[in-house]
Amino acid sequence: MSPTLPQNAIATVSLRGTLEEKLKAAAVAGFAGVEIFENDLIGSALAPYEVRAMLDDLGLACMLYQPFRDFEGMPGDLRRRAFDRAKAKFDLMDELGADRILICSSCHPAALGERERIVDDFRELGDIAQQRGIILGYEALAWGRHVNDHRDAWAIVEAVDHPHVGIILDSFHSLSRNIPNDSIRAITGDKIAFVQLADAPLLDMDLLYWSRHFRNLPGQGGLDVEGFVAEILRTGYDGPLSLEIFNDRFRSNAARLVAEDGCRSLDYVRDAAKRLIDQPTDMPAPQPVLSAEFVEFTADGRDAARLGSNFATLGFTLVGEHRHKKVTRWRQGGVNLVINAEPKGFASAYRAAQGTAICAIGVRVKDKAAVLARAAALGIKAYSPEGRPGRLAMPALRGVGGSLVYLIDADEVEGLWAREFHATDGDAGVVGADARSIDHLAAVVHNDEFLSWQLYWRALFGLEARAAQDVIDPSGLVHSQALQSADGAFRVTINATDARETLSARFLDHGIGGGYQHVALITDDIFATAQALRDEGAAMLDIPVNYHADLAARFDLDDAMIARMADLGILYDEDSDGAGFWQLYSRAFDKLFFFEFVQRANGYAGYGAPNAGVRLAAQNRFRPEATPTATL
């Protein structure tokens, strides 16, 4: 039932555009085959034989034709018509060169649930399919009238016991109904006709609506797709894994982007599944980010000088100048910021597109060579400066919004700084403002890249997704997804919005792509930090008095602490276990990026989500004057 076939496939319904555009996108992305979705074919100007010719030209196989609906258990004349429809589809499949068809469990109100009748229907159609060299795949729709569980579908396929009748397993239909993955162990691999995969955010809603609007790629949702695939591989199934995605966001995204992410997601989930059952894999394991080592800003001339002055008021000290480039290193405690003012090269090109901005981050990893190898296997491109290959002090990967992610082995960090930079005789910095490390980075991306960048971090570095948040900006809703390493040492949030007047949208309008807008630094004494920054004259965000009045009513904080927090502009949150979280924000540099200082207590693991709306409202109040040197 499952001969060795090419590994990655995608249903045409997953992509935007005409059938021709979808096929081209799938081929360019590297898929070996497609599922032809019936509506795509019906709406195409190409005849079936022309579609087959195009598939041949593109090097794609038509691995499945789908869906064939309301077949089994039909009474009287409806049964005859179902068989006639099936025979017509078999003729069509012959023109397309497809040898497998998806028969989804019936939703027809007249369908009968008598098991013997259903078995007889499949046995009879199986005989017809065998004469045509076609495999029937039976799929249990999560909302099927009588069959909505793959265990029931398998019981029917077992009872049919026909060489041309098998089961199709779909991760969404099974996982959305919380069917245990280990139930797949009862299925024999040679009877699995096809496997379809989709992830989804964890939502409590009607199954059909959830399926039709919110499916996404493996690695972009909260379903245990890796465990699902692991159990399928355990059966001995060695056929293709195929994506079937229904998603409103994908229907408006570029087909190329979704197709490229789709191939990456399948390679990622296959690798993760094999690791769960100790099967050999084709790529190195994810290398967790040990920490963020530095954040690099691009600026030149007067902007570079102003940025340096801004860093100084925030507690940073100039501690190094690059030996050969117009690059400076600023440090505070365990945090490094870099200003790149080179007139040529990557930072200069990024600056031309985005203005003064965060152009790169550097991350410590245990084995950068393994990260590079895994990135290559996932189709993530390494950066190589044009005309100067091999001249980078650190290898780098392409990151969000065209930025770079530099990779640094943990044991080479200090040597790298000493080799690349002259030490300067900077002073001790702002006393009391020391930040211990980078707590998290926040990126703003266009809506069509929101899920893409989540997949990037999860597939490459194994970051774990926290619960998604909807943040209320005064001008609209912002979607936010936090990702972090297992130990919480590296955190990044991805933010996107459809609302054009939000702070996030205005950040995107400034340049030609997404990027990092927000750097959060962790301190052990938020009050000492706040006082030191005030004494230095740092431009900090004003928090309204109403906030602290409300805070006094919400939490068991004494009046003196509330008064001190109000005076210093400190925000506070507390989780259900009583763990606390303090936040302090700078004003934004030229309305572009800003800093946050945080203090975590007793294992607080969130990001102060209840305070986000207050922070955004405070930032939005500083909008009237659009002068080049204004701050938010």
DSSP string, 335-353: EEEEEE--SSSHHHHHHHH
Do the strands 335-340 and 327-332 form a parallel or antiparallel pair, or are they unpaired?
Answer: antiparallel
Omega cis (within 30) before 67? yes
293 in a known ligand binding site = no
Helix, strand or coil for residue 276?
A: helix
414 labelled as ligand-binding?
no
170 in a known ligand binding site: yes
Rounded CA separation 450/481 (Å): 9
CA-closest candidate to residue 59, choices 92, 35, 94, 24? 24
513 token code pair: 């792509």
Map residue 227 onto helix, strand or coil: helix
HEC-encoded secondary structure of 521-579: EECCCHHHHHHHHHHHCCCECCCCHHHHHHHHHHCCCCHHHHHHHHHHCCEEEECCCCC
In this structure, are residues 404 and 349 in contact, taking their beta carbons and an 8 Å threshold? Answer: no
| 139 annotated as belonging to a binding site for a ligand | yes
Could you give the residue ranges of the DSSP H alpha helices within 102-206?
A: 115-132, 150-160, 171-175
Q: Is 420 assigned to a binding site? A: no
Residue 127 is classified by DSSP as H
- Measured in whole angstroms, the distance separating CA 138 from the mean position of its chain's CA atoms is 31
Amino acid at 317: T
Q: Please name the residue that has the structure tokens 């005064």.
A: 474
d(CA 23, CA 4): 23
Tokens of 62: 């038509």
The 3-state secondary structure of 383-395 reads ECCCCCCCCCCCC
Contacts of 23 by beta carbon, 8 Å cutoff, 6+ apart: 12, 34, 51, 54, 55, 58, 60
Annotated binding site: 139, 170, 196, 244, 440, 518, 596
Annotated binding site for Mg(2+): 440, 518, 596
Sequence ranges of the binding site for a divalent metal cation: 139, 170, 196, 244
